[in-house]
């Protein structure tokens, strides 16, 4: 497993809540504040939302649906969670046994309003195998459209002007053919059986089901230096300390049990 994937998997921040998605500068001391992936089950997305695709064509969100749809939000310059999320979602979809295009569609929407059609095409071609490109649509929109979509699905992120990047959660949303929020999948790796079930449920308009409130937060992993910010290192230290505590308690109980015996 790559170092970034290993660390990101360890960063399990529970119960993070925050403000609406926006483009304010993030606090250097607490970059994780305001980051959340709230579950807006059964919420209806704004179908008239105007976006642009990788060919430069203007489209509406409703026009991109019509089938059960996997929706991933991220940004093209991301080198941490976004590629891992997209890779995990693609692998899970490939293993569902469902037919792409017939049984489901998949959308990646950039949260960076500066994304251009050329950048969308480049990211799609770099991050997806040729066999997967047909089902995935890479889309972008202006700040108002992006915020409307992000808020509708509960995807709360923050823009860091100092580093020109975004702190954001990881995961994706399953939408019904009519644009209703049906299921959430958090993290960067997903069970293909559960994804298949979610897509079938969305197709059949089954009641939405909540997911475990697990949030992965990505912020400032530098692949060139291999360093993480103090905030991330603090979380890693806390995870390590908790592991040592649990391990020590287990060893103590094992020794006590042998002594009693």
Q: What is the pLDDT of residue 242?
A: 58
Local confidence pLDDT in tens for the 261 residues of the chain: 444 443 444 443 333 333 344 444 333 444 456 788 999 999 999 999 999 999 999 999 999 999 999 999 999 998 878 899 999 999 999 999 999 999 999 999 999 999 999 999 999 999 999 989 999 999 999 999 999 999 999 999 999 888 898 988 899 999 999 999 999 999 889 999 999 999 999 999 888 888 865 545 444 444 444 343 434 444 444 555 555 666 667 777 777 777 655
Is the same domain home to 117 and 129? yes
User: How many angstroms separate the CA atoms of 32 and 48, rounded?
Assistant: 31
β-sheet with 214-218: strand ranges across? 12-14, 214-218, 165-169, 158-160
Is the same domain home to 139 and 178? yes
CATH of residue 65's domain is 3.40.30.10
Is the same domain home to 203 and 254? no
Is the same domain home to 251 and 161? no
Is the same domain home to 244 and 182? no
Q: What is the pLDDT of residue 218?
A: 47
Is the same domain home to 182 and 254? no
Is the same domain home to 134 and 244? no
Domain holding 32, by residue range, is 3-228
Is the same domain home to 203 and 259? no
Q: Over the range 179-197, which residues count as b (16 or more CB within 10 Å of their CB) and which as e? A: bbbbbbbbbbebeeebbbb
Is the same domain home to 33 and 118? yes
Is the same domain home to 17 and 130? yes
How many domains does the structure of the chain reveal? 2
What's the maximum distance between 2 C-alpha atoms anywhere in the chain?
A: 74
Q: What is the pLDDT of residue 150?
A: 97
Is the same domain home to 110 and 207? yes
Residue given tokens 């991109």 in the structure block? 64
Q: How far is CA 97 from the centre of its chain?
A: 22
């Amino acid at each position: 497993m790559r170092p970034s994937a290993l660390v990101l998997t360890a960063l399990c921040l529970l119960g993070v809540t925050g403000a609406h998605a926006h483009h304010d500068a993030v606090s250097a001391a607490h970059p994780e504040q305001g980051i959340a992936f709230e579950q807006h089950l059964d919420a209806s997305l704004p179908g008239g939302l105007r976006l642009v695709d990788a060919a430069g064509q203007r489209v509406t969100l409703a026009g991109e649906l019509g089938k059960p749809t996997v929706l991933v939000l991220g940004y093209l310059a991301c080198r941490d969670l976004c590629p891992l999320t997209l890779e995990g979602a693609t692998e899970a979809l490939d293993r569902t046994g469902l037919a792409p295009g017939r049984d489901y569609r998949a959308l990646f929407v950039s949260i960076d309003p500066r994304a251009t059609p050329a950048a969308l095409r480049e990211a799609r071609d770099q991050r997806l195998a040729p066999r997967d490109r047909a089902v995935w649509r890479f889309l972008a929109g202006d700040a108002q459209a992006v915020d409307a979509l992000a808020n509708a699905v509960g995807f709360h992120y923050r823009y860091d002007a100092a580093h020109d990047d975004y702190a954001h959660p990881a995961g994706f949303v399953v939408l019904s053919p009519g644009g209703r929020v049906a299921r959430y999948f958090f993290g960067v790796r997903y069970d293909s059986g559960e994804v298949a079930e979610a897509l079938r449920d969305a197709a059949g308009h089954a009641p939405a089901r909540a997911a475990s409130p697990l949030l992965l937060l990505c912020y400032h992993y530098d692949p060139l230096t291999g360093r993480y910010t103090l905030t991330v290192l603090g979380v890693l230290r806390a995870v390590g300390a908790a592991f040592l505590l649990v391990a020590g308690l287990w060893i103590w109980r094992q020794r006590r049990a042998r002594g009693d015996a």
